[in-house]
Structure 1
Amino acid sequence: MPRNDRLQSLIVILRDGEMHRARDLAARLGVSERTIWRDMAELQAFGVPVQGSRGVGYMLRRALALPPLVLTPEEVAALGHLLRLAEAHVDTRIGAGARSLAAKIRAALPPEAEEDENPVEIAPSPPLAPPDAAR
């Protein structure tokens, strides 16, 4: 099983909210425990909310993904606009979250067809000036 497929399988297995031992995951996927340990470390590095460690087990801390959505070009444009506004938020966690979310959305969007009359883009925006800078 290719590594990317195995990582996806691990996410699907962990979504049940139960604690899973590396030994059981390894047997289920036909790999070694060591491979599971490396895969879990990689999932954590990718930002997947995997909780646990060797000898204890692994589980997801919270929901991982939204169900598939179909967005219209107008909805994508509105989302891009809202993300640019959020990037400028005073709370740096909000801004960082907006930048991260925009990157994930850009990665998931299909490549623009050249014949598309109104391409929609979620692009990084330049930082906005603080409100008191305009005075």
Structure 2
Amino acid sequence: MPHLTMEYSANLDGRVDIAALCQALLKTVLETGLFEIGAVRVRALRADHYAIADELAENAFVDLNFRIGKGRTAEEKKRTGEGIFAAASEILAPLFETPHFALSLEIREIDAELSWKKNVIHPRLRGN
């Protein structure tokens, strides 16, 4: 159930390779060894309408929301968050050279009793 959703301001188009960022974040999540490959999703949602801080047109953001099922230790979650944040920070480094960018990440645990799933990717990847 690890789903990493990236919301980003539309003014990053042409300044950030969002597809490459998605690929890098997928790789980072898988490298933790904590999540089954068939469950991992990384998606990017462009925010066309936004107001940031003092409303300068140059202001931009990337907000990462990582939803995971329960069962990982606090240390595992912290290590995962640090890895995701470091990977995103590295790719987005040029944006930090200006005083107009904000990056955030939050990890949320999902209550299994209130989460429904149907996934036919798992059997294919598991070979059954």
Question: Do they superpose with TM above 0.5?
Answer: no
Normalising TM by the smaller chain, what interval?
under 0.3
Question: Could you tell me the TM-score, scaled by structure 2's length?
Answer: 0.28
The structure having more radius of gyration, on CA atoms, is 1
Q: Which has the higher contact order (CA 8 A, sep 6+)?
A: 2
Greater helix content: 1
TM-score (norm 1): 0.27
